[in-house]
Structure 1
């Protein structure tokens, strides 16, 4: 089934790729667009596991269970299946310069009863003006404080209303509010004014 154009919409202004300055004699390229897919407000259980200096390295394994959460977007609404996922993160480096490698998996259950597995790999790193260097966990961080991004992949049932999620390239833009991760999911597209095929 072909996708339909959004009523009355026009393509936003395309931005040329910065790579155009570095190559000649090929067809022009442009920067992709980001389209909002959903927002997740995640609730963590707080029953974390910490394993320091794993295998005699400067890596600390952090196992952060996910208690639940809500998901809401233009084409999907539902929740995180309670107590069914976690972030198996790694804290890398010493006190002066360190970052967290994120590696989360959790299932979503849509309002109409479909399950979708989310896999998220990414990075959490203090920004140049971060207040997150204080001792102990920081319950609230904004985009002014940190680099906090993930690459999201999905496993949805084929031939169903969410099978389109299997074939998108998606990123998560993240913040933390009162110890709750907030995840805005966007998909990359060259066709911002075209609805995604739901088949």
Structure 2
């Protein structure tokens, strides 16, 4: 017997609209800010629906302009299920690229790294499979939104 090699399958993509950041200032490890989640859309082969206007990304931005991403929010599927999303990861790249992102400019996602690991949870039996699935994600940042593709680890 051999250890199985995981593969990835696209599950859905979120386009998440954001409200302006709330600056907390310097924290223990870096600059802290909260970016409220205003809404958005989920589209994909496994689920479609809306990103609810609850939750936020609690970020820590380090001296090298990299950011620790720590998000918690919720989705409501088109058929009425509510799914909690906790998504933790990192965004980093060359300092000038990170400055352009911070200024709200669109930057080619090939110029920086934005990856996360997500845990989803629901009490709706139609989507109970999300409670037992590991998701890895790749994203891109826009001026007032992020786009994140969720992949099931198979």
TM-score w.r.t. the length of structure 2 is 0.90
Q: Which consecutive residues of structure 1, in runs of 5 or more, have no partner in the other structure?
A: 1-26, 190-199
Counterpart selection for 1:62 from 33, 49, 53: 33
Q: Do the aligned partners of residues 127 and 172 (structure 1) sit closer, same or farther apart at CA in structure 2, a change above 3 Å counting?
A: farther
CA displacement at 1:133 relative to structure 2 = 3.5
Q: Do the aligned partners of residues 137 and 68 (structure 1) sit closer, same or farther apart at CA in structure 2, a change above 3 Å counting?
A: same
The answer to whether 1:157 aligns with 2:130 is no
Q: Do the aligned partners of residues 187 and 51 (structure 1) sit closer, same or farther apart at CA in structure 2, a change above 3 Å counting?
A: same
What CA RMSD, in Å, does the superposition of the two structures yield over aligned residues?
Answer: 2.0
Counterpart selection for 2:55 from 81, 85, 88: 85
TM-score w.r.t. the length of structure 1 is 0.71
Counterpart selection for 1:42 from 5, 16, 19: 16
**CA distance in 2 between partners of 1:108 and 1:136 (Å):** 26
The answer to whether 1:126 aligns with 2:111 is no
**CA distance in 1 between partners of 2:141 and 2:101 (Å):** 17
Is 2:100–2:107's contact at 8 Å kept on the other side of the alignment? no
**CA distance in 2 between partners of 1:63 and 1:101 (Å):** 12
CA displacement at 1:98 relative to structure 2 = 3.1
- Number of equivalenced pairs: 154
CA displacement at 1:135 relative to structure 2 = 8.5
Q: Which has the larger radius of gyration?
A: 1
The answer to whether 1:170 aligns with 2:143 is no
**CA distance in 2 between partners of 1:71 and 1:135 (Å):** 23
* Structure holding more strand per residue: 2
The answer to whether 1:142 aligns with 2:108 is yes
Q: Give structure 1 regions of 4+ aligned residues with deviation exceeding 6 angstroms.
A: none
Is 2:101–2:141's contact at 8 Å kept on the other side of the alignment? no
1:184 maps to 149
